[in-house]
Amino acid sequence: MGSITAQLSIYPLGEASLSPTINEALRILREHGLAVEAGTMSSQVSGDDDVVFAALQSAFHQIAAQGPVIMVATFSNACPTKKVAEDAITYNAIGHVENAFDDPAAPDQIKATQSRIVLNPALVEGLQGLEAGQRLLVVFYLHRSEGYDLRQHPRGDRTREPRGVFALHSPHRPNPIGVTTVELVEVAGNVLTVRGLDAINGTPVLDLKRQS
């Protein structure tokens, strides 16, 4: 295949600061001789495809040995990655979800428990004005969703008449983006405790908006 570029995001779970794990991963990638361009929300690494894949595997194994972590990578043989398609839109996660649901479950079941939104510490100033008791719109990336149909049975129940995907809350969508309004329980540093979020553990968060 030749030279490729990978756009990389890393989310260590249960850590107050993301930086140590991210910096360690980038150090490992540089040790493999890759060109690394670190960014605020994601980083790019470039090099021969065999080296890139081997380096990412090595980096993941080493940081995963320190604790639970999510690594999201987008690969391209057209550099930079952002030029893959003229109509492509790229968003960087501002944080991730932490809760007890490692796998998809009934939305009502997930909503009934509290979740934590761990924000990138570099963005914590943007939380000013948020207080417990407020309603918050959470926009997130459905990272476990694969494929979609334009007509689907509501909640996968085949006894119910199919509807168009845009009339449903199905996670299987042309753009796998989820939106939920939650109750803000607590703000502590870069961690927000919320109630009513139907996103599973490790879900990348794209945006937060206070509701009037």
pLDDT in tens, 190-202: 999 999 999 999 8
**Would you say residue 150 has pLDDT above 90?**
yes
pLDDT 10s digits, 30-84: 888 888 887 767 888 888 899 999 999 999 999 999 999 999 999 988 754 444 4
> Which pLDDT tens digit goes with each residue over 90-107?
777 899 999 999 888 888
What local confidence, expressed as pLDDT, does residue 126 receive?
A: 96
Question: What's the pLDDT at 79?
Answer: 55
pLDDT of residue 87: 60
Give the distance from CA 76 to its chain's centroid. 19
**In angstroms, rounded to a whole number, what is the distance separating the alpha carbons of residues 168 and 155?**
8
pLDDT above 70 coverage of the chain, percent: 94
Compute CA 1 distance to the chain's CA centroid, rounded to the nearest angstrom. Answer: 28
Report helix, strand or coil for 205: strand
DSSP letter string over 55-117? Answer: HHHHHHHHHHTTS-EEEEEEEESSSSGGGS-TT------SEEEESS-SS---HHHHHTSEEEE
Q: Which domains does the chain have, with CATH numbers?
A: 3-83 (3.30.70.930), 95-211 (2.40.30.70)
Average pLDDT, integer, range 128-144: 95
pLDDT at residue 1 greater than cutoff 60: no
d(CA 138, CA 178): 8
CA separation for the pair 163, 152 (Å, rounded): 6
Token match 């030029």: residue? 83
Would you state the pLDDT for residue 19? 76
- β 3-12/204-211 pair status: unpaired
Report the C-alpha gap between 74 and 9 in whole angstroms: 9
| DSSP character at residue 33 | T
